Amino acid sequence: VTGVDIPPLDEAAMTAAYQRQLTLTKPAGALGKLEGLSVWLAGVQGACPPRPLTRRRLVLFAGDHGVARLGVSAYPAEVTAQMVANFRAGGAACTVLARNADVGVRVVDVSVGRPSGAISVEPAVTPDEARHWYDEGVRLADEEVDNGADVLIAGDMGIGNSTVAAALVCAVTGAEPHETVGRGTGIDDAGWARKVAVVRDALRRVRHASDLDGIELLSELGGADVAAMTGFLVGAATRRTPVVLDGVVSGAAALVASKIAPTAVPYFCAGHRSTEPAHRRALEALGLEPLLDLSLRLGEGTGALLALPLLDAAVAVIREMATFESAGVSDRPS
């Protein structure tokens, strides 16, 4: 992947937002991370105050994974397709939370029923396929932004996808499989051991994973759906559109995105920290502090959807609060 041209955040807008926060009727910094969010959004949008987030979109990347047949999940692989139907019917957690947060949902069937290869024994997809799906993800981000989206969330659905996410996090950060593999959908000790073994086998098969570029990583250890999600994240940043990251799968995709386009990362905000150890590792490597820490481990974009009202609140505060001067409130003696 070459020619990814992502501008830095707008420093002037960020400085203006920071200065504006100092004039509002509250002690400087008293709204903590909420103030930081307003400064970040100003930088992403290149505007102070930042504009309200009026067209909010969740794009769900659904795909199956060959590792699902190796006993790494508490659920059978057919659940991926069943859940896609549940998304379309509006009965899943992500669709309920999206309605609740006024977010439009788009479901992209990347590879449901056409599993990417089992990474412990074979590449997930060919490099050409990885590149194809990456480009498709970029195109989807472009389409969403062209249609007016001003904040994007990438959701995941795919039995086995937290296993490939752990493998990608190991490959990029150098962490060991037992440090990254979690309970996913709720596997028991034996399932956890199988999942660790799958990740270890995958890393052994690939060998010099740390030398691979982003597309090679997606090909060897990712899959079609993760490739599409990675392209989507880079595409959103290219269009200077804020992304709220969700859990371990979008965290792993963001890590790969950071290899392809390090300048994309400033456009990402971490919606939450899940219980998956690989997610914690991914956020640390990305240098992102999560907004929420609610012991979520569902994916589908749910953690990002729950964090979105905090972005709205940050925008409301910086846009609507009175200043010390306008409200006639005494500022602290300087």
Q: Which stretch binds a copy of itself (CB under 8 A): 105-113, 197-205, 254-262, 310-318?
A: 310-318
- Least distance (Å) between residue 209 CB and a copy of itself: 29
Q: Which of 12, 33, 147, 210 binds a copy of itself (CB under 8 A)?
A: 33
Q: Are strands 268-270 and 104-116 parallel, antiparallel or unpaired?
A: unpaired
User: With binding defined as CB under 8 A, does residue 113 bind a copy of itself?
Assistant: no
CA-only gyration radius of the chain, Å: 20
Give dist(CA 256, CA 241) in Å, integer. Answer: 18
User: With binding defined as CB under 8 A, does residue 47 bind a copy of itself?
Assistant: no
Q: At what angle do helices 248-260 and 161-173 cross, to 10 degrees?
A: 40
Residue 7's Cβ-side half-sphere holds a number of Cα atoms within 13 Å equal to: 10
User: With binding defined as CB under 8 A, does residue 296 bind a copy of itself?
Assistant: yes
Q: Which of 22, 93, 193, 197 binds a copy of itself (CB under 8 A)?
A: 93
User: With binding defined as CB under 8 A, does residue 53 bind a copy of itself?
Assistant: no
User: With binding defined as CB under 8 A, does residue 51 bind a copy of itself?
Assistant: no
For a copy of itself, the binding residues in 168-187 under the rule CB under 8 A are 184-186
- Least distance (Å) between residue 297 CB and a copy of itself: 5
Give dist(CA 220, CA 107) in Å, integer. Answer: 25
Buried b (16+ CB within 10 A) or exposed e, 269-278: bbbbbbbbbb
Q: Tell me which H or E stretch contains 45.
A: helix 32-45
State whether residue 195 is helix, strand or coil.
helix
User: With binding defined as CB under 8 A, does residue 321 bind a copy of itself?
Assistant: yes
Q: Which stretch binds a copy of itself (CB under 8 A): 58-66, 168-176, 259-267, 288-296?
A: 288-296
Q: At what angle do helices 32-45 and 302-320 cross, to 10 degrees?
A: 90
Q: Which of 51, 99, 114, 204 binds a copy of itself (CB under 8 A)?
A: 99
- Least distance (Å) between residue 17 CB and a copy of itself: 16
For a copy of itself, the binding residues in 128-167 under the rule CB under 8 A are none
Q: In what order do the strands lie in the sheet with 104-116?
A: 104-116, 56-65, 151-157, 243-245, 268-270
- Least distance (Å) between residue 210 CB and a copy of itself: 32
Give dist(CA 121, CA 261) in Å, integer. Answer: 29
Distances (CA, A) of 201 to 172, 175, 236, 248, 256: 16, 14, 33, 20, 20
Q: Are strands 104-116 and 151-157 parallel, antiparallel or unpaired?
A: unpaired
User: With binding defined as CB under 8 A, does residue 107 bind a copy of itself?
Assistant: no
Say which residue the tokens 């998304």 belong to.
Answer: 87
320 is catalytic: no
Nearer to a copy of itself, 100 or 147 (CB): 100
Nearer to a copy of itself, 184 or 242 (CB): 184
- Least distance (Å) between residue 291 CB and a copy of itself: 7
Selected catalytic residue, list 129, 144, 220, 300: 300
Q: Which of 74, 127, 192, 197 binds a copy of itself (CB under 8 A)?
A: 74
* Total Cβ atoms within 10 A of residue 329: 12
User: With binding defined as CB under 8 A, does residue 82 bind a copy of itself?
Assistant: yes
Binding site for a copy of itself (CB under 8 A): 24-34, 74-76, 78-79, 82-83, 85-86, 89, 91-93, 96-97, 99-101, 184-186, 275, 291-298, 302, 305-306, 309-310, 312-313, 316-317, 320-322, 326-330, 332-333
List residues with catalytic annotation: 300
